[in-house]
Amino acid sequence: MTCPTDIGVLLSRIADARCGTQRQLGVIERQIAKRAERMTITARVQRRRGRRGAHAWTGVDECAYQALVADLTLARHSEIDALTGQLAREDAALTALRVRCTTRAVADP
């Protein structure tokens, strides 16, 4: 039988691991967004070489950006899927441990 302090430590470890997984997913999403933005800006500069003051983000640029985000996300889908699955497993483990902890607390008055 696991004592309550062990359950607290286990909950803390799982929650920390979950935060790390979420952080890694956030890093990947930011990397994709920044790379797509750089690629869009580079393409825009190459397309509009003659206009020096043209810094406005146009609708065409936004469409190109969204397409690049989709392409880059597709290129990294296996990594994103693995982290999403890991996050789901960590959520399930946290939920199961909390349920087990509360049912044990109710059973032991």
- pTM attached to this predicted model: 0.77
Domain count, the chain: 1
Residue 62 region by backbone torsions, left for phi larger than 0, else alpha for psi between -120 and 50, else beta: alpha
**C-alpha pair distances (Å), 9 with each of 2, 94, 102:** 11, 12, 15
- pLDDT category at 1 given cuts 50, 70, 90 is very low
What is the extent of the structural domain holding 100? 4-49+56-107
Digit-coded pLDDT (tens) for 28-66: 999 999 999 999 989 887 666 656 665 678 889 999 999
